[in-house]
Amino acid sequence: PRDVLHRLLEGLQTADKNGYGDGQHHQGLMLESKPTPVVGIGLDSCVIPIRHGGLFLVQSTAFFYPLVDDPYVMGKIACANVLSDVYAMGAVEVDNMLMLLSTSNKMTEKERDTIMPLILQGFKDCAEEAGTAVQGGQTVINPWLIVGGVATSVCTQNEIIIPENAIVGDVLVLTKPLGTQVAVNAHQWLENPDRWNRIKSVISEDDVRKAYQRAMNSMARLNKIGASLMHKYNAHACTDVTGFGLLGHAQNLAKHQKHDVSFVIHNLPIIAKMATISKACGNAFGLLQGTSSETSGGLLVVLPREQAAAYCKDIQAQEGYQAWIIGVVEKGGRTAKIIEKPRIIEVPAKDTEGELW
Amino acid sequence: PRDVLHRLLEGLQTADKNGYGDGQHHQGLMLESKPTPVVGIGLDSCVIPIRHGGLFLVQSTAFFYPLVDDPYVMGKIACANVLSDVYAMGAVEVDNMLMLLSTSNKMTEKERDTIMPLILQGFKDCAEEAGTAVQGGQTVINPWLIVGGVATSVCTQNEIIIPENAIVGDVLVLTKPLGTQVAVNAHQWLENPDRWNRIKSVISEDDVRKAYQRAMNSMARLNKIGASLMHKYNAHACTDVTGFGLLGHAQNLAKHQKHDVSFVIHNLPIIAKMATISKACGNAFGLLQGTSSETSGGLLVVLPREQAAAYCKDIQAQEGYQAWIIGVVEKGGRTAKIIEKPRIIEVPAKDTEGELW
């Protein structure tokens, strides 16, 4: 189904669709007077020159079906994910958010009146945390509950990092651990004996619950500081890791580079024990192959080698979260790969009673 | 259900929600440094001052379930309706559109591959007609097909008409006839003998089909010229007529006025024969009461009395469509009403073989 959706969106692209990598089109940044629609997987934040003052419009939109059972956190996750696409372009000042919401016609009135305000509040609080506000939107009724939104930033050119300048010798940094999809699924399996029986020999219920809490915490976390620090440490390119998994987004980013480079990933930081579950399921998720879908994942940032450690340290200092150097930029044909036996980094390395990370 | 949705969206408003009409807040136009979310029914195009160059961000979003059986036209209608909210603010240069799309999981692969590209194309063509382009969006899978979008304009203040300056003696102009909901429903009833039997004594099948064609044509028509001419003829306020019907949107606009005025509506321009159907159904639609829902309806414009006729004439000259003076602005308490026996204007007044209007 992903391919289908992708093909549909490609329908938005005009005849001039071979724009990527020719030095004229930059992931939606159109330098011609008449912009050409360009929608890339994972690079769905468009950047459009506007009529006034040499400014650019950076916009992203996304909507989601609930994947966690806490409506307030779900609102935050949706908001964080919508913002993440704009942050991936280096734009950190968001001028407005719209919210897209659908109640489910399967909910009772009481369920609706309990759940929907919590989702709204979570979304709104997250927007506020990001220094912006929700000032518009639409709500409809649908069989499935939907929560999503639109983030818009009007920027000067120097607020944007065009993600096409990776050079040989750069390194790849990831700002959140992988494994959100596995954690969310494993948590659902606690209620599904058939599924649970398949993994219970490798993980305890408590570990699943903790991984789920970590995943929720990670998905609800903004990529704003990581984005802001890209300017300080001279990042050459960035994308955020969401539905197409680490490798999918890395490949897409590689494809858009100006220089003959390839990305090689050596390390996979993963929410503790999720690699174990993934293996126990016969790699059904593709977590170790980098194809497991993530929601509101981290930024994958291409940085000069000498800046990368300082970038990670600065994130740790400002947010208290780890970031990891996970790979290198080599000479190549604009592709990305994960080495055969990547190092799995368990996040956190050690479980501390009463603490999440 | 409308009330429920409205209440949900009101949840977006902050403590400072009594902003309307106090001279500080203008339907989302926030003059303070920290904008306050304001979402009004029908006035869902937000206007937000941005950080750069005294500019404003005007944005609207809406999404729809299909209501006509022509996917290409449905795409156009959705696009026209999304744009309409921005046009209602006087902003006619739209810098970007995003498209929100959901295929239905009830469609076969063949249906999907036939229908979705047509919807996309309709949306895209309509955006192009509006002088803008679709440069981003998201597509998901859902039980129901959804089509919608986001329109964004970055404007100088003089591109925007703050819709709060109606004065006693002004008149109300409507730029599209009412009755789209009735026409769409009557057309569906051609396939439903039970329903059709209730109205077949008052209307022919051919008349229903023609009304449906007129409704599609009207819904797919952009409000851009009507919006652009508001500047030329010094409009004092405007809203577009959509889900809450003529009266709902008129009341909402009245509520936001600076002066002690009320709107009194005398004339109801209605797609030919739709008033007859509405009466035959015991006014179930509320068409003559002004509460029948419209999709992508016209602009309801408040104009100085001496400019209104010229405004209507100019629309006719540029577009070949009629517009109508439908009411007056009187002294009052910021309310709107339709007089007891409004004049029904059949649109068109006379049926011309082979012509739509």
The mean per-residue pLDDT over the stretch A80-99 comes to 96
pLDDT at A312 exceeding the cut of 90? yes
Does A150 sit within 8 Å of B59, measured CB to CB?
yes
pLDDT for position B42? 41
* Residue B157 with chain A: CB contacts under 8 Å: none
Task: Between A211 and B22, name the one with better pLDDT.
Answer: A211
Q: How many Å lie between the alpha carbon of B205 and the closest alpha carbon of chain A?
A: 32
Res. A114: pLDDT tops 50 = yes
Residue A35 clears pLDDT 70, i.e. is over it: no
pLDDT at residue A42, as a whole number: 40
Residue B331 makes CB contacts below 8 A (sequence gap 6+) with B168, B260, B261, B262
Indicate if the pLDDT at residue B195 is higher than 50. yes
pLDDT at A170: 98
**Looking at the predicted structure, is the pLDDT value of residue B104 above 70?**
yes
Instruction: Provide the pLDDT for residue B238.
Output: 96
Which residue does chain B place closest to A139, by CA atoms? B5
**CB pair distance less than 8 Å for B12 and A137:** yes
Q: Which of A:154-173 have CB within 8 Å of B?
A: 154, 156
Each residue of B288-309: pLDDT tens digit? Answer: 999 999 999 999 999 999 999 9
* Mean pLDDT computed over every residue of chain A: 88
pLDDT of B16 higher than 90: no
Chain A environment of B31 (Cβ under 8 Å): none
C-beta atoms of B137 and A53 within 8 A: no
Mutate to test the interface with B, among A59, A89, A244 (most CBs of B within 10 A): A59
* A135, A150, A159, A295: best to mutate for the B interface, most B CBs within 10 A: A135
Q: What is the pLDDT of residue A136?
A: 86
Cβ neighbours, 10 Å, residue A96: 27
Q: What is the residue extent of each domain of chain B? A: 37-159, 170-347
Contact list, A98 vs chain B (CB under 8 Å) = 46, 59, 61, 150
Side chain identity, residue B215? A
- The pLDDT of residue A229: 98
Name the residue of chain B whose CA is nearest to A37's CA: B135
What is the pLDDT, as a whole number, of residue B284? 85
Residue B43 has pLDDT above 60, yes or no: no
C-alpha neighbours within 13 Å on the C-beta side of residue A36: 19
pLDDT at res. B5: 52
Looking at the DSSP bridge assignments, the partners of residue A240 are A299
pLDDT at B25 over 50: no
| Chain A environment of B53 (Cβ under 8 Å) | 52-53, 55
A59: closest chain B residue by CA: B136
The answer to whether A288 faces chain B, any CB pair under 8 Å, is: no
Whole-number mean pLDDT of chain B? 88
- Residue in A closest to B1 by C-alpha: A141
Put simply, the answer to whether B48 touches A95 (Cβ < 8 Å) is: yes
Query: How many Cβ atoms from other residues are within 10 Å of residue B243's Cβ?
Result: 21
CB contact under 8 A, B5 and A156: no
Cα distance from N-terminal residue to C-terminal residue, chain A: 34
Residues 315-344 of A with CB under 8 A from B: none
Please give the backbone phi and psi of residue A129, each rounded to the nearest 5 degrees, phi first: -55, -35
What pLDDT score was predicted for residue B4?
55
Q: What is the mean pLDDT of residues B238-256?
A: 95
Question: Which residues from B are below 8 Å from A133, CB to CB?
Answer: 34-37
Confidence of residue B155 (pLDDT cuts 50, 70, 90): very high
* Mean pLDDT on A243-269: 96
Mean pLDDT over A173-193 rounds to 96
What's the Cα-to-Cα distance from B130 to each of B2, B92, B118, B125, B148, rounded to whole Å? 30, 8, 18, 9, 16
Tokens of B206: 């051919």
DSSP letter assigned to residue A40: B
3-state secondary structure of B272: coil
CA of B315 to nearest chain A CA: how many angstroms apart? 26
**pLDDT tens-digit series, residues B313-330:** 999 999 999 999 999 999
Highest mean pLDDT among B33-37, B54-58, B334-338: B334-338
**B101 has a pLDDT exceeding 90:** yes
If you average pLDDT over residues A270-278, what whole number do you get? 96
Q: In what order do the strands lie in the sheet with A237-240?
A: A237-240, A299-303, A171-174, A324-331, A261-271, A336-347
Q: State the pLDDT at residue B295.
A: 96
Please tell me whether the interface predicted TM-score (ipTM) of this complex is above 0.90: no
Instruction: Give the number of other CB atoms < 10 A from CB of residue B261.
Output: 25
A12 contact residues in B (CB cutoff 8 A): 99, 120, 124, 134-135, 137
For A130-141, what is each residue's pLDDT tens digit?
A: 999 998 888 888
- B37-159 classified as CATH 3.30.1330.10: yes
Closest-CA residue of A relative to B35 is: A133
Query: CATH top-level class for B170-347?
Result: alpha beta
The token pair at B289 is 């009461």
Residue of A119, A140, A244 to mutate, testing the B interface (most B Cβ within 10 Å of its Cβ): A140
| Lowest model confidence (mean pLDDT) among A190-199, A209-218, B165-174, B230-239 | A190-199
| CB nearest A96 (choices: B48, B101, B117) | B48
pLDDT of residue A246: 97
Q: pLDDT > 90: what percent of chain B?
A: 80
Render pLDDT for A56-73 as a digit per residue (tens, 0 to 9): 999 999 989 999 999 999
Q: How far apart are CA A21 and CA A253, in angstroms?
A: 11
Question: Does the pLDDT at position B351 exceed 50?
Answer: yes
CB B185 within 8 A of CB B263: no
CB A302 within 8 A of CB A254: no
Residues 33-72 of A with CB under 8 A from B: 34-39, 44-46, 48, 50-53, 55, 57, 59-63, 65
pLDDT of res. A64:
92
pLDDT at B7: 54
What confidence score (pLDDT) does residue B110 get? 95
pLDDT at A8: 55
- What is the chain A residue with the closest CA to B95? A50
Say if residue A22's pLDDT is above 80. no
Predicted confidence (pLDDT) per residue in A244-254, tens digit: 999 999 999 99
Task: Indicate the residue of B12, B34, B95 with minimum beta-carbon distance to A57.
Answer: B95
- E strands, A177-308, are 237-240, 261-271, 299-303
CB contact under 8 A, A144 and B142: yes
Name the strand (E) or helix (H) holding A197.
helix A193-199
Closest chain A residue by Cα to residue B43: A136
Stretch among A38-47, A334-343, A344-353, B20-29 having the lowest mean pLDDT: B20-29
A19 pLDDT tier (thresholds 50, 70, 90):
very low
- The CA angle B265-B271-B277, to the nearest 5 degrees, is 95
pLDDT at A23 over 80: no
Compare all CA atoms of chain A with the CA of B96 and give the residue at the minimum distance.
Answer: A48
CA dihedral A27, A29, A33, A34 (to 10 degrees): 40
| The pLDDT of residue B283 | 85
The residue of A138, A140, A145, A159 whose CB has the most chain B CBs within 10 angstroms, and thus the best one to mutate to test that interface, is: A138
> Is the model's pLDDT at B211 over the cut of 70?
yes
pLDDT band at B14 (very low <50, low <70, confident <90, very high): very low
User: A140 to chain B: nearest residue by CA?
Assistant: B5
Above pLDDT 70, what percent of chain A?
Answer: 88
Any idea what the Cα angle at residue A126 is, between residues A124 and A130, rounded to 5°?
A: 115
A interface test, pick of B152, B153, B155, B159 with most A CB neighbours within 10 Å: B152
